[in-house]
Every structure is written in structure tokens, then in C-alpha cells.
């Protein structure tokens, strides 16, 4: 598969902590990163995937879904919102139990900064 120069730049310069809102873990090392403007699928080694999944910037909200704590702007209507709350594309459903856990984590992060 040939990638255009712009696609190569996105993949080469991509930083999950800075650029992704959330990611989903797929089979055989495939990780699907979601941002407000694009979705990237990348194959990662077991070590890279493990490092990403244990990074304290991300929190697991479902079996395969991890959200970037630094990008959450609101928790409402059983959804996490990222950025503009009117944008339905930048939201992820979350259970009520996880909502409470996330609120506590976000509160603790604010106290630290």
C-alpha cells in the first residue's frame, strides 16, 4: 500500500498522549486511535501496546477502549465529551460506574496541577 506524503507525516509525527482522544485495542497488536479530525490504525508490538495501556494519561473505560484524561472536557448524559460539547463525533459512551471513577481521577489531576 502506498501512503501519500501527508499520511506518512501523520503516522510518523503521531503522539498518542498529545494527539488522540481515545484508542481501541484490536486483535494482533492493532490499535485504532481516534482524534477530532482523523482515525489512525497502527500495528504495535506487545511492549509498545503494554506501555500505552499502562500510561497514566489513559484510563480504560471498556474492555478495549482507553480514553485520554487530558482531553475530556465534560461528562454528561452517560458520555465523555472531548472539545466542543455540541460535536457528537467527539464523544464516547461510558458507564455510570466509570463516570464516577473518571470524575475522581480528573479532580485529583486538577489538584496536582
According to DSSP, residue 83 is labeled S
22-71 pLDDT, tens per residue?
Answer: 999 998 889 999 988 888 999 999 999 999 999 999 999 999 999 999 99
Taking the model in full, what pTM does it have? Answer: 0.84
**Residue 79 has what pLDDT?**
93
39-53 pLDDT, tens per residue?
Answer: 899 999 999 999 999
Alpha-carbon distance values, 71 to 10, 25, 78, 105 (Å): 19, 19, 17, 13
Cell numbers for 112? 496536582
> pLDDT tier at 12 (50, 70, 90 boundaries)?
confident
To the nearest whole number, what is the mean pLDDT of the chain? 86
Give the whole-angstrom CA distance, residue 50 versus residue 44.
Answer: 9
- How many CB atoms sit inside 10 A of residue 23's CB? 25
Please name each of the domains of the chain with its CATH number. 5-112 (2.40.50.1020)
Report whether pLDDT(94) > 90. Answer: yes
Amino acid at each position: 500500500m502506498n501512503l501519500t506524503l501527508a499520511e506518512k507525516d501523520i503516522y510518523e509525527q503521531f503522539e498518542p498522549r498529545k494527539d488522540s482522544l481515545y484508542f481501541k485495542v484490536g486483535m494482533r497488536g492493532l490499535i485504532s486511535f481516534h482524534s477530532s479530525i482523523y482515525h489512525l490504525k497502527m500495528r504495535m508490538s506487545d511492549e509498545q501496546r503494554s506501555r500505552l495501556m499502562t500510561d497514566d494519561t489513559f484510563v480504560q473505560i471498556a474492555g478495549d477502549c482507553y480514553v485520554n484524561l487530558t482531553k475530556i472536557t465534560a461528562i454528561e448524559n452517560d458520555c465523555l465529551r472531548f472539545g466542543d460539547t455540541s460535536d457528537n463525533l467527539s464523544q464516547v459512551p461510558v458507564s455510570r460506574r466509570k463516570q464516577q471513577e473518571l470524575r475522581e481521577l480528573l479532580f485529583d489531576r486538577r489538584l496536582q496541577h
